[in-house]
Amino acid sequence: MTKPEFPIAWVRDSFPAFKSGDGFIFFDNGAGAQIPQVALDAVRNHLISHNVQRGGRYGKSREVDKSIQRARESVAMFLNAREPCEVAFGMNATSFIRLVSLALVEILGKRREIVVSDLDHEANIATWLALESRGVEIRWWKTREDGTLHTADLEPLLNSRTRLVACTAASNALGSIVNVKQAAEMAHAAGAEIFLDAVHYAPHGSLDVQDLDCDYLVCSGYKIFAPHMGFLWGKRPLLEALPTFREDFIPDSIPMKIEVGTFVYENVAGMDAVISYLEDLSHRLLPPSPATSRRARLLRAMEAIRDYEASLSLELVQRLSALDHVTIYGVTDPNQMRQRVPTLCFNLRRIEPVAVSAKCAEQGIGIRDGNMYSPRLLRRLGITPEVGAVRASLVHYNTVEEIERFTEVLQAMGRN
């Protein structure tokens, strides 16, 4: 059966940012994505209709309770969690990594080794390194020259003292996808747990925490087309065992024991609306059927996104590879585009990354330069973190035409 054509025109029409007419090309999605109209409407509706604190007995407060519960159920479905109560909302992934690390260090017992990777965002490295002062020993899962983590390199790091493996599902710098399912199997075989940073992967493909059999997972909603917010998922027994800080009046049960303080309710409503946007995308691929579950619709949308983005990755890699003054880091084999997301890290010969970004900005193209919050990875690749590299990070609303314009600008730089 022929797969339906990806509805790129409808997708772009769903995002108000692309209706300004300024022709701006946004290739900095790794720092935060644009927001669909449906999410903006949800935020606006919350602020107008029930911008009150939850937990009250009056109608507007009860509407907030319902809104949060709907969002929790939607995100649980997005992750294929066993129960909605396994999902906790907050500000961002970084704060949740810190929360879990501070809780785990209190209950490590004799297992005091934590494995971290140099492929990760610094938030999922430094947070665990900070526990060394509490007697934690860090073991390093090193990136190979191909810009990926190989599970064969993880196995010798695991032993009876390993408590946790902390790693990313996809590199925010290189776009490399990690075989986290196999990493989870290996960690569990050693009696350890696995903590996944899914921030960079989540906009690009489906997540199934039951299939991955991970123990903890964090995301930042603003990378997944939502307003600024984040969420933590964990297996219920593990979350219940975490000794989190809370005031006495907060129940010692999940998710309340984790959601200490007030988070941004309207942005959580926006995250809920993003899930409905993805379901609507599924309807554009195949007419809706009452027999089709929400999860099935979501999986259809995310698989279509994966297919479309693989074509973007191929286009981007091939066009930049054709420029002899460009060095690309990470996966470049045309046959392995599904082993990466359309995030490309590169440098231009004799042109500083900051100058590349500035020139692109002059031409109406938004990219990023620097260390991508992954200085250890850049050093591993022979790049000075203080100078850094250039990153173009695309998602499913970007187009081949934008890639063409981008490479034209890079090509012109090489001639100057």
| 346 located within any domain | yes
What DSSP letter does each residue of 177-217 carry, written as one string?
A: BP-HHHHHHHHHHTT-EEEEE-TTTTTTS---HHHHT-SEE
Query: Average pLDDT in the 96-118 region?
Result: 96
Position 416 pLDDT exceeds 70: no
Say if residue 143 is in the same domain as residue 265.
Answer: yes
How far apart are the C-alpha atoms of 162 and 102, rounded to whole Å? 17
Alpha-carbon dihedral 175, 176, 182, 188, rounded to 10 degrees: -60
Q: Tell me how many degrees the CA angle 36-227-405 measures, rounded to the nearest 5.
A: 55
How far apart are the C-alpha atoms of 18 and 250, rounded to whole Å? 43
Q: How many CA atoms lie within 13 A of 316 on its CB side?
A: 30
Query: Average pLDDT in the 326-352 region?
Result: 96
Say if residue 12 is in the same domain as residue 47.
Answer: no
Query: Average pLDDT in the 219-224 region?
Result: 97
Domains identified in the chain, total number: 2
286 pLDDT band, cuts 50/70/90, is confident
Report the candidate in 101, 284, 93 with the shortest Cα–Cα distance to residue 172: 93
Say if residue 180 is in the same domain as residue 61.
Answer: yes
168 pLDDT band, cuts 50/70/90, is very high
Question: How much is the pLDDT for 208?
Answer: 98
| 312 located within any domain | yes
| 285 located within any domain | no
What DSSP letter does each residue of 329-390 carry, written as one string?
A: ES---GGGGGGB-SEEEEEETTB-HHHHHHHHHHTTEE-EEE-TT-HHHHHHTT--TTT-EE
| 401 located within any domain | yes
Say if residue 343 is in the same domain as residue 256.
Answer: no
First to last CA, the chain: 49
Query: Average pLDDT in the 299-318 region?
Result: 97
Residue 157 and residue 141 in contact, taking contact as beta carbons nearer than 8 Å? yes
Say if residue 149 is in the same domain as residue 234.
Answer: yes
| 282 located within any domain | no
Say if residue 25 is in the same domain as residue 151.
Answer: no
| CB neighbourhood size of 346 (10 A) | 23
366-386 b/e (C-beta count within 10 Å ≥ 16 → b) = ebbbbbbbbbbbbebbebeee
Q: What is the pLDDT of residues 118-137, one digit of tens each?
A: 999 999 999 999 999 999 99
Question: How much is the pLDDT for 195?
Answer: 98
Residue 156 and residue 188 in contact, taking contact as beta carbons nearer than 8 Å? no
Position 2 pLDDT exceeds 80: no
Query: Average pLDDT in the 28-56 region?
Result: 97
Question: How much is the pLDDT for 405?
Answer: 98
Say if residue 74 is in the same domain as residue 28.
Answer: no
Taken in order 353, 357, 362, 364, the sign of the CA dihedral is positive
Query: Average pLDDT in the 28-46 region?
Result: 98
Residue 24 belongs to domain spanning: 8-35+296-415
3 pLDDT band, cuts 50/70/90, is confident
Of 210, 242, 274, the position where a domain reaches its end is: 274
| 281 located within any domain | no
| CB neighbourhood size of 337 (10 A) | 22
Say if residue 28 is in the same domain as residue 45.
Answer: no
**CATH code, domain carrying 334:** 3.90.1150.10
Question: How much is the pLDDT for 288?
Answer: 75
Q: What is the mean pLDDT of the chain?
A: 96
Q: What is the pLDDT of residues 226-247, one digit of tens each?
A: 999 999 999 999 999 999 888 8
Amino acid at 211: D
Query: Average pLDDT in the 334-341 region?
Result: 96
Question: How much is the pLDDT for 1?
Answer: 55
Identify how many contiguous H helices and E strands the chain contains and give both numbers: 14, 13
Q: Tell me how many degrees the CA angle 84-243-253 measures, rounded to the nearest 5.
A: 35
Report the candidate in 338, 340, 343 with the shortest Cα–Cα distance to residue 367: 343
Say if residue 17 is in the same domain as residue 164.
Answer: no
What DSSP letter does each residue of 261-301 carry, written as one string?
A: S---HHHHHHHHHHHHHHHHHHHHHS---TTS-HHHHHHHH
How far apart are the C-alpha atoms of 62 and 82, rounded to whole Å? 25
Category of 364 on φ-ψ map: left (φ > 0), alpha (ψ -120 to 50) or beta: left
| 99 located within any domain | yes
Share of the chain above pLDDT 90, in %: 93
| 2 located within any domain | no
Report the candidate in 391, 373, 389, 393 with the shortest Cα–Cα distance to residue 119: 373
Radius of gyration of the chain (CA): 22
Share of the chain above pLDDT 70, in %: 99
Report the candidate in 238, 262, 239, 233 with the shortest Cα–Cα distance to residue 250: 262
Query: Average pLDDT in the 96-121 region?
Result: 96
Q: How many CA atoms lie within 13 A of 353 on its CB side?
A: 21
Question: How much is the pLDDT for 277?
Answer: 98
Of 274, 305, 336, the position where a domain reaches its end is: 274
Say if residue 169 is in the same domain as residue 50.
Answer: yes
Position 369 pLDDT exceeds 90: yes
Say if residue 270 is in the same domain as residue 254.
Answer: yes
156 pLDDT band, cuts 50/70/90, is very high
Say if residue 137 is in the same domain as residue 259.
Answer: yes
**CATH code, domain carrying 112:** 3.40.640.10
Of 216, 241, 274, the position where a domain reaches its end is: 274
